[in-house]
Structure 1
Amino acid sequence: MADDGSGSSREGHHHFLIVVYGIQSHINPARALAHRLTRLGVAGSIRATLCLSVSSHRRMFPSSNGAGETTDGVISYTPYCDGLDENSLPKSDDEERARCRRVGFESLSSVIGSLAARGLPVTRVMCTMVLPAVLDVSLELGIPLVVYWIQPAHVLTAYFYYFHGYGDLIASHVATDPAQEVSLPGLTRPVRVGDLPSFLVDTSGSELTRIFKETMRELFEFVDRQRPKLLVNTFEGLEPAVLADMKRHLDVFVVGPMVGSSTEARVHLFKHDDVDRKRYMDWLDAQPEESVVYVSFGSISKYKKQQMEEIVEGLKQCGRPYLLVARKDGFEDDMMDYVFESTVKDQGIVVDWCNQLEVLSHAAVGCFVTHCGWNSTLEAVASGVPIIGVPNMFVDQPINAYLVEEEWLIGTKVERDSEGILTRKELARCIELVMGEGAKANDIRERTKALKRLAQEAAVVGGHADRNLLHFVKTI
């Protein structure tokens, strides 16, 4: 078994350093994986340490001030310096990005050295998707890398083929017509170019797109050379064809749905306490079964006043009870007073943040209006809740919405107007389509229940995900 060059590892014992990009959508699936890995071990034979940037560690553990290791009783959390200022985004300047990468490498190396000095040598370093400094750590310190792919296998397939001979074909289709379809190996049907991951089809010339494509290209070049193992947060019953195809090219282990349980403590980077929880859970308890429209657009999306007005008015127009998550930092204009004051008595409730999996698991929830981030999509699938997709055409959201509507048939995707606005009429139409008594709504509900059963079979203790994880551990 490999060690980190500064300490020896005992045969059959593993210590995973899971380096996480510090946003909600990366932290929760990484934490769920870390917990599941340690649960598989016997007598402490598997250890996991979640490693976050100083700023993210400070948000999770305010009393730590971003320094020092802490634990939740199962796994450890330790900070590292990524070279970025508090709450700042990755730099677009190439020289500054290179500096941050060096700082990240040095800090992670120091973390690994400190762990080894305590008799806890890191045997595998893992990252969610890709963090360039982690690639450097793996190569320079000789610690094998594991990639934790926290998007669907369809997205893995799209990136893989983009960087293996299909990039020019996709680019040519983008240049002519985004509605044109392209066929990729492993996909069960052609997909519209505009539904592929946004960074592969963005023609705006944005620096963010350039940086992300360069980073992903480096990852797949690393994968081609080093052949690391990939853990994919999905399950066989959801994406069988693409998973079978990827296994022909990559060392893939299917470990999802990595959503935890509805009663499990979760990481919240936004204000959320027992008072908030009691208010919305008591309200849900008072609603009829499958009657509530749950609306949340994740931890990053921001909306202008016009769009939020249309959403609120569309919810009122549909006439069904609704739970709307409206983050105070989620509006580009001052909208909070309007959103809260416009809530119709006894029809709706507005909260800053909530335990999403607990809400989706509640019997009162009848559909989920979502941006279609992968965590939200997977949580809805695992909870058996139909989806109304409102993708922001960002990262994996377009293809997730496509899968919901056309591949899995468990919901629908909204159509925006010529200005890119989701209108109140369209939102009300989609809610009725999914929650009404028509044949399509009934078919959607049956499909969601069938996929929920498959997800539960995969996620249950000793199920497919555990068996695949155990097989992964045995292979290293």
Structure 2
Amino acid sequence: MDQKQVTPMNYHHFLIIFFPIQGHINPSLQLAKNLVRNGAKVTLATTSRGLKQIKSLPTLKGLSYASFSAGQDDDESQFQKDFLRYMADLRRIGPQSLTNLVQKFSADQEPVTLLVYSMFLPWVAVVARDLQVPSAFFSNQSATVWAIYHRFFKSQDGIHGDIFSLLPIELLGLPLFSSSDIPSFLLPDNPVSGFMLPMMQEHIQVLEEDPRSFVLVNTFEELEQESIKAIANFNAISVGPLIPSAFCDGSDLTDKSFGGDLFSKSEDYIQWLDSKPKSSVIYVSFGSLAVLKKEQKEEILHALVESGRPFLWVLRSSNSEEEEEQVHKMIENGVKGDGIIVPWCSQVEVLSHQSIGCFVTHCGWNSTLESLVSEVPVVGCPQFSDQTTNAKMVEEVWGIGVRAKANGENIIERGEIKKCLDIVMGDEDRGKRMRENAGKWRGLAIEAVKEGGSTHNNLKRLLEITMMDSNPSTHSL
């Protein structure tokens, strides 16, 4: 590709490749939006199935969309029922399909200047290298989690052998991380470790082999200063928090470039929230992937009712008709307090509502950042993956919540949940400090994304280091 002859000096074209699940879609969209606002052209690309999954594609000058084939990516059941086969098809078919897409951009005189890829897609970096296009890994998890991955999988002095004998993990400036604090799939008895461990090792190896590559992390420097330093050799750049800017800067909560109002007052739950006193409502949601056991749902429901506080619980539909019927009966027979249960809500909208006083969450990274920016303290109920690490940071480092403890059957009992709610929403000193800390971190997040802030400057820096020059094959930090 002879990019020099067709591009001006200040040309930027970011091709962001993301995996088609909700936790990857939202931050990828926001990263694209922020880059466009800083003068870049951005193309968001995923599988055909993933592109169809986005219900309303934002419209913004400089932002476009593309898809590539994953073989079975038009078959929803294939993705849901046989994930490993889906991933194998994606790895087999995706590279050539993506290569064709990049070459088409070049032929159309819109060459890609940086190829950004997310978790589950390490092969994208190989495609970029073969095409002599600079690449960056986009981590939609925290810098702390990425530092732990690095500690495990780096080629020199990484952890090789019995993981349990090498615990706890020590990261400079942070508490020790035990087996219950590290991402769950790092433990050999985890059911997905056979897939995740080789994939993470491949991610690290790919980055180590290409000194021009770097890592974009959905965080901000003030929040994870020590962890960002720990991955400095990967040229880590913090570009978060990646949530709509209106929720950070307190401006008018409309965004016509993204298809209309961010707030939709037509929803019944918003009208319900409007009727509640400030900081009085418990918001409960466990994200788009976690599947709660029936027993856990019952414990949560009883804890909420017994707390005596109003609550809004997002309880997703189940694929099991029997379980759905059980849940409906549980709700009909159990909700005697002041609460509502909905199958979906706009989470950032809810968290930013003045009536919300606490967030009972799985501690996924997107949810953690959203609660922090919304100044809402949390009760952490981690389920899997990086959620355990996030819950530890929430409680022990950032001081914005508590981590609920599960029993021997991995169920968090109603008494434990109620105790945590009383701490976070109560008038004792510990709860007050959490609310004060939440306010502090919100303020720092807002400063980071403002002009002159750390994230704002990092985005400018990212544009500078990816700018086309007289030798487009040489990009470095």
Which TM-score applies when normalising by structure 1? 0.87
1:109–1:467 distance in 2 versus 1, CA, 3 Å: same
Matched-pair identity in %: 34
1:196 aligns with 2:188: no
Residue pairs, 1:194-273, within 5 angstroms: 194-204=180-190, 206=191, 208-227=192-211, 228-247=213-232, 249-260=233-244, 261-262=246-247, 263=253
In structure 2, C-alpha distance between the alignment counterparts of 1:346 and 1:211, rounded to whole Å:
43
In structure 2, C-alpha distance between the alignment counterparts of 1:422 and 1:61, rounded to whole Å:
34
CA contact (8 A) 1:234 1:257 kept: yes
Q: Deviations over 1:53-98 (max 9, x none)?
A: 1112122259xxxxxxx762342122211233423157536xx855
Q: Which residue of 2 aligns with 1:54?
A: 48
CA contact (8 A) 2:70 2:89 kept: no
**Residue 173 (structure 1) aligned to one of 165, 170, 181:** 165
Q: Deviations over 1:119-150 (max 9, x none)?
A: 32211111123403312311221111111111
Q: Give SS of 2:160's match.
A: helix
Q: Which runs of 5+ in 1 are unaligned?
A: 63-69, 175-179, 267-271
In structure 1, C-alpha distance between the alignment counterparts of 2:268 and 2:330, rounded to whole Å:
17
Q: Which runs of 5+ in 2 are unaligned?
A: 248-252, 257-261, 467-477
Q: Give SS of 2:328's match.
A: helix
Q: Which residue of 1 aligns with 2:305?
A: 316
Please identify, of 130-139 and 354-363, the stretch whose mean Cα deviation from structure 2 is larger. 130-139
In structure 1, C-alpha distance between the alignment counterparts of 2:283 and 2:317, rounded to whole Å:
18
Q: Deviations over 1:304-336 (max 9, x none)?
A: 222111111110010100000011137782244
In structure 2, C-alpha distance between the alignment counterparts of 1:402 and 1:370, rounded to whole Å:
13
Q: Deviations over 1:161-206 (max 9, x none)?
A: 11232413771437xxxxx63324x3423221321111212324x3
The letter for the 1-side match of 2:179 is V
Q: Deviations over 1:439-463 (max 9, x none)?
A: 1111111111111111111123553
Q: Which residue of 2 aligns with 1:14?
A: 12
Please identify, of 146-155 and 325-334, the stretch whose mean Cα deviation from structure 2 is larger. 325-334
**Residue 146 (structure 2) aligned to one of 156, 163, 180:** 156
Q: Deviations over 1:6-53 (max 9, x none)?
A: 984332111111000111110100100000001011xxxx11111011
CA contact (8 A) 1:234 1:254 kept: yes
**Residue 419 (structure 1) aligned to one of 395, 405, 409:** 409
Q: Give SS of 1:338's match.
A: helix
Q: Which residue of 1 aligns with 2:287?
A: 298
Aligned length: 446
Higher RCO by CA contacts (8 Å cutoff, separation 6 or greater): 2
**Residue 364 (structure 2) aligned to one of 367, 373, 376:** 373
Which TM-score applies when normalising by structure 2? 0.87
CA RMSD of superposed structures (Å): 2.6
1:36 aligns with 2:34: yes
Q: Deviations over 1:190-240 (max 9, x none)?
A: 221321111212324x3x312211111111111111021211111112111
Residue pairs, 1:437-452, within 5 angstroms: 437-452=427-442
CA contact (8 A) 1:4 1:123 kept: no
1:351–1:330 distance in 2 versus 1, CA, 3 Å: farther
**1:339 Cα deviation after fit:** 5.1
1:196–1:235 distance in 2 versus 1, CA, 3 Å: same
The letter for the 1-side match of 2:310 is P
1:119–1:348 distance in 2 versus 1, CA, 3 Å: same
Tell me which stretches of 4 or more aligned residues in structure 1 moved more than 6 Å: 4-7
Q: Give SS of 2:267's match.
A: helix
**1:244 Cα deviation after fit:** 2.2
In structure 2, C-alpha distance between the alignment counterparts of 1:138 and 1:130, rounded to whole Å:
16
In structure 1, C-alpha distance between the alignment counterparts of 2:182 and 2:423, rounded to whole Å:
25
Q: Deviations over 1:385-413 (max 9, x none)?
A: 10100101x21011000101111111001
